[in-house]
Copies of this chain bind each other. A is one copy, B any other.
Amino acid sequence: MSFKYFILGLLTQRPMTGYDIKRLLQRLDWLIGSPSFGSVYPTLHALLKDGLVSLNVDQNNDRPARKVYSITMAGRRALQEWLDRPVEPGASLKEFLMRLMLAGNLSHHGLVTYLQQRRSEVAAHRATLEKVTNSKEKTALGRKLAFDYGLAAAKAELAWLDRTLEQLS
């Protein structure tokens, strides 16, 4: 599960209810994609069962009993372990962005390393696309367009990475 750790990571910022998390995720829909309630609640149950989050119920006055989840020490350890695990090559953009959004839990050095890792992967991908694009095989229109898109996207991402890495130093 990849949302599991992302949700855990969001809880480092502040304790939240399932509904809070879903609302937050909703705004990241385009960037990362947001899981449905049918996914969020069971994920929180699983985290709780594993002792990575703790629960306290707000039953002050409002009826629906807000269930506020907080990350535990064990949770922080598990999250750190996840963040430290090198991303497997070929990870998706979505995964890159999930971890990036949790950059607050990384050291400066860790973040820089992470971005450099990504850089080398994108550079490799770019090289592959350039090879394909430059070879003068007869290519179908759709293929040509998609590859051209991919190349443009890779260039833009490399530019962003370079800019960001520079700002960080």
Chain A residues proximal to chain B, CB less than 8 Å: 13, 28-33, 90, 92-93, 97, 100-105, 125, 128, 140-143, 145-150, 152-153, 155-157, 159-160, 164
Nearest CB in chain B: distance from A20 CB, A: 15
Residue in B92, B104, B142 whose CB lies within 8 Å of A100: B142
Establish whether residues A153 and B153, one from each chain, have CB atoms under 8 Å apart when the complex forms.
Answer: yes
Copies per complex of this chain? 2
Establish whether residues A31 and B146, one from each chain, have CB atoms under 8 Å apart when the complex forms.
Answer: yes
Establish whether residues B30 and A90, one from each chain, have CB atoms under 8 Å apart when the complex forms.
Answer: yes
Given contacts A103-B141, A104-B140, contact A150 B31 (CB under 8 A): yes
Nearest CB in chain B: distance from A167 CB, A: 10
In the bound complex, CA of A143 to CA of B140 (Å): 39
Q: Which residues of B contact A150 (CB under 8 A)?
A: 30-31, 97
Q: Which residues of B contact A145 (CB under 8 A)?
A: 100-101, 103, 164
Q: Which residues of B contact A153 (CB under 8 A)?
A: 153, 156-157, 160
Show 11 residue pairs from A and B whose CB-CB distance is below 8 angstroms, ordered by the A residue.
Answer: A30-B125, A33-B92, A93-B93, A97-B146, A97-B149, A100-B145, A100-B149, A101-B143, A104-B140, A149-B160, A152-B156
In the bound complex, CA of A97 to CA of B13 (Å): 34
